[in-house]
């Protein structure tokens, strides 16, 4: 758990100061909207050429986003890990022209095609999402979502999570260190399960108590149940240009998809 949250990896960006790419300077609201638009368009594609082009668009975004390519591809591969079994099983589960037979099961060309489609769709969407949205601080994302009129409660949940995840992680690390100092070594036995149960339980109790203290502190500063956020965003010419390019790319993908219908 703790290794997943090492400092430099908390956001995809290396640090708040990193401005290698152009995308991090663009309006975050627009980036979220464009990521959503791109995702919807790509999901509606089934033509393999269109899908390959979609992946190409997403790959083009990568150098613009300033994200480290290697780590980003690693994260993409991690997502692929979730769908790999679906992809492997699809040729066997979809009926159609047999490709080959494995242990008495027929693999179909139609199934393979579907698997490729899903793999391309998923990777294009996730890569574009990482480049457009993953390159912003969670805090900025919260503000942008608020500016996009997302439900206030959800935005607040996100903001509180980003604020307290580090505090919780530190608490976890402290408790873990304390356990280690008393000779605790995790194994496959009841003592380990029970101890981890206590650890999680203790963190829950502390989190609950903390939430009460935080609410108290908020009341002391006049909190009446409504948040007012400070940040204001403004679209610049560069933002509009980027939005126009991304929209054009999405429309182009749709044109490629439906080119036979137009012809």
Residues contacting residue 212 through CB under 8 Å, at least 6 positions apart: none
- 102 near other proteins (CB under 8 A): no
- 34/165 Cα distance (integer angstroms): 28
**Whether the Cβ atoms of residue 61 and residue 127 lie closer than 8 Å to each other:** yes
- 133/75 Cα distance (integer angstroms): 14
Question: Considering CB under 8 A, how many residues would be counted as binding other proteins?
Answer: 28
- 238 near other proteins (CB under 8 A): no
Exactly one of 109, 160, 193, 240 binds other proteins (CB under 8 A); which one?
A: 160
- 174 near other proteins (CB under 8 A): no
DSSP state of 67: -
Measured CA distances, 28 to 39, 103, 198 (Å) = 16, 51, 41
- 210 near other proteins (CB under 8 A): yes
Of 34-42, 53-61, 99-107, 218-226, the segment contacting other proteins by CB under 8 A is: 218-226
- 183 near other proteins (CB under 8 A): no
DSSP state of 141: H
Q: Which C-beta is closer to other proteins: that of 113 or that of 210? A: 210
Residues 111-140, mask of contacts with other proteins (x by CB under 8 A): --------------------------xxx-
- 149 near other proteins (CB under 8 A): no
Closest CA to 108 of 97, 121, 117: 97
Residue where the block lists tokens 């989190």? 207
- 219/75 Cα distance (integer angstroms): 41
Q: Which C-beta is closer to other proteins: that of 129 or that of 159? A: 159
Q: Which C-beta is closer to other proteins: that of 39 or that of 143? A: 143
- 162 near other proteins (CB under 8 A): yes
- 48 near other proteins (CB under 8 A): no
Exactly one of 102, 193, 198, 223 binds other proteins (CB under 8 A); which one?
A: 223
Q: At what angle do helices 237-257 and 48-65 cross, to 10 degrees?
A: 160
- 209/192 Cα distance (integer angstroms): 26
- 229 near other proteins (CB under 8 A): yes
Please give the residue ranges that form the binding site for other proteins (CB under 8 A). 16, 137-139, 142, 159-160, 162-164, 166-167, 210, 213-214, 216-224, 228-230, 232
């Amino acid at each position: 758990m703790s290794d997943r949250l090492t400092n430099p990896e908390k956001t995809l960006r290396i640090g708040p100061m990193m401005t290698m790419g152009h995308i991090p300077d663009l309006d975050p609201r627009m980036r979220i909207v464009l990521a959503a638009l791109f995702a919807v368009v790509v999901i509606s594609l089934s033509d393999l050429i269109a899908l390959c082009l979609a992946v190409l668009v997403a790959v083009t975004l990568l150098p613009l986003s300033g994200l480290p390519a290697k780590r980003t591809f690693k994260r993409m591969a991690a997502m692929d890990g979730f769908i790999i079994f679906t992809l492997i099983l699809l040729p066997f589960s979809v009926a159609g022209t047999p490709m080959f037979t494995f242990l008495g099961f027929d693999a179909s060309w139609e199934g393979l095609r579907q698997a490729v489609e899903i793999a391309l769709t998923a990777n294009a969407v996730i890569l574009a999402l990482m480049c457009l949205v993953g390159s912003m601080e969670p805090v900025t994302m919260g503000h942008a979502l608020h500016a996009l009129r997302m439900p206030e409660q959800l935005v607040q949940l996100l903001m509180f999570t980003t604020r307290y995840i580090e505090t919780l992680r530190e608490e976890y690390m402290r408790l873990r260190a304390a356990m280690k100092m008393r000779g605790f070594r995790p194994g496959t036995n009841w003592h380990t399960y029970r101890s981890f149960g206590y650890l999680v339980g203790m963190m829950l109790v502390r989190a609950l108590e903390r939430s009460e203290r935080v609410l108290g502190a908020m009341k002391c500063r006049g909190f009446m149940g409504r948040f007012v956020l400070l940040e204001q965003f403004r679209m610049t010419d560069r933002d509009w240009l980027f939005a126009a390019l991304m929209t054009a790319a999405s429309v182009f993908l749709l044109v490629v998809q439906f080119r036979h219908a137009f012809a």
